[in-house]
Structure 1
Amino acid sequence: MKQVIVLLLVVSVLFSCGSRKRKYKPSKPKQKTEHVNRKHSEKSEEINEDTPAESQVEVVPKAVSSTSEYIQLYAPIAVEEMKFYKIPASITLAQGILESGSGRGRLAAEANNHFGIKCHDWTGATIHHDDDADQECFRKYKDAKYSYRDHSLFLTERKRYSGLFLLDMDDYKGWAKGLRAAGYATDRKYPEKLISLIERYQLYTYDDEVTGNEPKRTKAPRPSHDVHFVEKGDTLYSISRRYNISVKELQELNRLQGTTISVGQELVVKS
């Protein structure tokens, strides 16, 4: 009988220990869920860092309904640029009107780029647009005034346009023809288009505002064959042959001390 009682006590103790072990067995930590959440958060940050620059720049273009409104909005900027960089405000405005479609073209409306300036060594925001080739890279600006400043720098920092700065600041006709001669545009009618815009909207008044000079438009215009705008490859000799005058006459007419000339420079070829 004693043996039976002892056996029952041993079984009872063993059963009790097994129950305690099962009852206090620790649960698995939820590290996997936390790890996944952390990974997801890191990935989101990486996506934000790699987002194209154009989506990170807030572009606030001005809505323009007409060319006259465009002139009202941007003439003050063109005048300031003329004061700093000696580029006729009339020319800058005419180029802006022509190249941006009076501020309504895609590059102007979505990127504040009024002069079609491409990326080149640009490190800022960009936009891609079909031009000479498909989906070319163009600069994107937070404000259009930075587009106007880049236009000024583009002309002043490139040697091929240096001859333009020998012209009078209010000589918009000379600038229009000189830009084409220096290779700014391939359109043969580019000068005529600029001049037409300047005269139609009287943009030359903004040049007068800066110079305070008597407008050149009141003077009798010289015939187109009286002047020549220096193009790439021109020399005084080749120009003299073209207009049937001597090199010495060219030098005297233009008060040149030597034979050095610049692309875009205006030369009188007939007295």
Structure 2
Amino acid sequence: MMLKRIIVVLTVLMIYSCGSSSKVRTATVNRTKKTTVVKKRPFVVAKETDVVKQNNGKSEVLEATSKIAVTPEVVNNYISQYKEIAKENMRKHGIPCSITLAQGVLESGAGTGVLAQKANNHFGIKCHTGWTGESVHHDDDAEQECFRKYEQSSESYRDHSLFLTTRSRYAGLFKLDKGDYVAWANGLRAAGYATDVKYPEKLIGLIERYELYKIDEEVIGSGYKPIAKMSEKPLDANSYRVSQGDTLYSISRKFNLSVDELVQLNNLPGNAIAIGQILKIKS
């Protein structure tokens, strides 16, 4: 009898032990390990050309820019964007659209230059005496010169018109035929708008390459008198007019020059050239 009781007790203990062991194994199998993910903040290095240093007043100190090379597509897009503003200003103030747009393209790098991007200044108009609006400082003829800053690009176009119409030194321009962009380009240089001796040539080249005179005709209407294009005039032996399919390489081969020599002779910012552009082939 005693032996039977001992056997029963041992059997119960064995069953209990097996059940506990099974539970432990199950818990061990189902246990999952937690993983902690640590996200690092990206380290961003600011580009020097993107830095705008804040001044105590309304001015900002900007990095100086060099010459800007743009594609014809960029120029055409710029012209399309500002053509109507130029036409409105021509009707109101009498400045040819061709001149306004060519100046805008040239002075702003077709809207890609620092002054255009940071200050909406498309014409390089400096502060001058009496300017009470916002301004930026930018290296030009001298270091850190003061340039006007605008809320919108359209304000820059309007101010360009007012700048020319309210200063006596530009009064002679408004006696010229509004369709004579050659006379206007030369008149601007003579009145001191720009120090670059090639300024008229650059404006005229842009006007003729991109046919900006046609926009003048839209405003003037039936009274428009076309003038002889500079691109149609004969060149001297030291110059060459770029034609369809020309590249700096092909032109250099034609005149026994290197591409670098052509670039230096013409003070080009890069290898981009345009149809109708006049290049020096001899110094």
Match of 1:85 among 93, 110, 115: 93
Residue 160 to residue 70, structure 1, CA distance change in 2 (3 Å) = same
Amino acid of the structure 2 residue aligned with 1:160: R
Cα distance in 1 for residues equivalent to 2:154 and 2:166: 18
1:54-77: per-residue Cα shift (whole Å, max 9, x none)?
Answer: 58xxxxxxxx97111100111111
Equivalent pair of 2:111/2:122 in contact (CA under 8 Å): yes
Q: CA RMSD in A?
A: 2.6
Q: Does 1:72 align with 2:106?
A: no
Q: CA deviation at 1:183?
A: 1.4
Match of 2:157 among 128, 148, 168: 148
1:222-243: per-residue Cα shift (whole Å, max 9, x none)?
Answer: 999xxxxxxxxxxxxxxxxxxx
* Identity within the alignment, %: 60
Match of 2:109 among 92, 101, 116: 101
Cα distance in 1 for residues equivalent to 2:161 and 2:188: 13
Residue 202 to residue 214, structure 1, CA distance change in 2 (3 Å) = farther
TM-score by length of 2: 0.55
Q: CA deviation at 1:172?
A: 0.7
Aligned residue for 1:77, secondary structure, equals: helix
Gaps of 5+ in 1: 1-49, 56-63, 225-271
Cα distance in 1 for residues equivalent to 2:233 and 2:169: 26
Match of 2:220 among 188, 211, 220: 211
Amino acid of the structure 1 residue aligned with 2:207: I
Residue 191 to residue 218, structure 1, CA distance change in 2 (3 Å) = closer
Q: Does 1:139 align with 2:144?
A: no
Aligned to 2:198: 189
Cα distance in 2 for residues equivalent to 1:188 and 1:200: 20
Gaps of 5+ in 2: 1-54, 61-70, 235-283
Residue 130 to residue 92, structure 1, CA distance change in 2 (3 Å) = same
Match of 2:185 among 176, 181, 184: 176
Aligned to 2:137: 128
Please give the residue correspondences for 1:185-264 in structure 2 after superposition, counting only pairs within 5 Å.
185-213=194-222, 215-217=224-226
Q: CA deviation at 1:52?
A: 3.1
Cα distance in 1 for residues equivalent to 2:145 and 2:203: 25
Q: CA deviation at 1:210?
A: 0.8
Cα distance in 2 for residues equivalent to 1:156 and 1:219: 27
Cα distance in 1 for residues equivalent to 2:86 and 2:229: 27
Aligned residue for 2:146, secondary structure, equals: strand
Aligned to 2:58: 53
1:1-42: per-residue Cα shift (whole Å, max 9, x none)?
Answer: xxxxxxxxxxxxxxxxxxxxxxxxxxxxxxxxxxxxxxxxxx
Equivalent pair of 2:180/2:227 in contact (CA under 8 Å): no
Q: CA deviation at 1:149?
A: 0.8
Cα distance in 2 for residues equivalent to 1:53 and 1:203: 36
Cα distance in 2 for residues equivalent to 1:223 and 1:216: 18
Cα distance in 2 for residues equivalent to 1:217 and 1:185: 26
Count of residue pairs brought into register by the alignment: 167
Cα distance in 1 for residues equivalent to 2:175 and 2:187: 11
Amino acid of the structure 2 residue aligned with 1:67: V
